């Protein structure tokens, strides 16, 4: 194709793109109908991400600060890049006298997580899921290592702890 032809084609493409943008801009200038642009960070307090958004892995807790993690370590084992460490101990059950596994810390390295979701899929208790927070910028890498079970939390009654 000739040099002139390239210029004509390029101009046509440019005008097509500009006409779509212009049409969208003027059509919605006053009504703001169908406008989906987010005024971030001005809207930080109201901003709600889509339900399917994967911001980070979190552990669910109820109003009594109880979770469903029985320290089975499935998530730790399946994570392809070692982003999860389950720290647990065995304690004697006061009722039965038998030892059982108790979660101490569910450690999550957000800085290594690729958001593949395998840990969430493999969790038999649905103890973990996606959180929508995406404000993870920090100057200290250590800030991205999180303990997912909240301080003072315990396992919900009825969730079978591993022996
Ligand atoms: S989402 Fe994937 S990479 Fe991230 S902690 Fe879970 S298994 Fe590991
Ligand atoms: S979060 Fe789920 S998979 Fe991971 S240790 Fe706890 S119960 Fe097991």
Ordered per-residue pLDDT tens for the chain, 163 residues: 689 999 999 999 999 999 998 887 887 777 767 667 778 888 888 888 888 999 999 999 999 999 999 999 999 999 999 999 999 999 988 888 889 899 999 999 999 999 999 999 999 999 999 999 998 999 999 999 999 999 999 999 888 655 4
Q: Quick one: which H or E segment has residue 109? A: strand 99-109
Q: What angle do CA 109, 129, 41 make, to 5 degrees?
A: 75
Residue minimizing CA distance to atom 7 of ligand 2: 69
β-strands 84-92, 145-147 pairing: unpaired
Is the separation of the CB atoms in 72 and 84 below 8 Å?
Answer: no
Query: How far away, in angstroms, is 13 Cα from ligand 1 center?
Result: 42
Q: Is 57's C-beta closer than 6 angstroms to any atom of ligand 2?
A: no
Q: What angle do CA 150, 93, 119 make, to 5 degrees?
A: 40
């Amino acid at each position: 194709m000739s040099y002139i032809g390239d210029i004509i084609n390029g101009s046509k493409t440019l005008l097509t793109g500009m006409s779509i943008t212009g049409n969208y801009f003027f059509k919605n200038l006053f009504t703001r109908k169908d406008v989906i642009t987010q005024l971030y960070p001005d809207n930080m307090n109201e901003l709600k991400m889509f339900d399917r958004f994967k911001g980070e892995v979190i552990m669910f807790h109820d109003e009594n600060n109880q979770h469903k993690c029985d320290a089975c370590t499935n998530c730790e084992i399946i994570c392809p890049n070692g982003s999860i460490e389950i720290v647990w101990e065995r304690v004697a059950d006061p009722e039965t006298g038998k030892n059982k596994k108790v979660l101490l810390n569910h450690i999550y390295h957000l800085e290594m997580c690729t958001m593949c979701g395998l840990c969430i899929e493999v969790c038999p208790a649905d103890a973990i899921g996606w959180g929508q927070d995406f404000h993870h910028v920090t100057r200290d890498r250590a800030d991205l290592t999180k303990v997912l079970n909240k301080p003072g939390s315990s396992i919900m009654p009825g969730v079978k702890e591993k022996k």
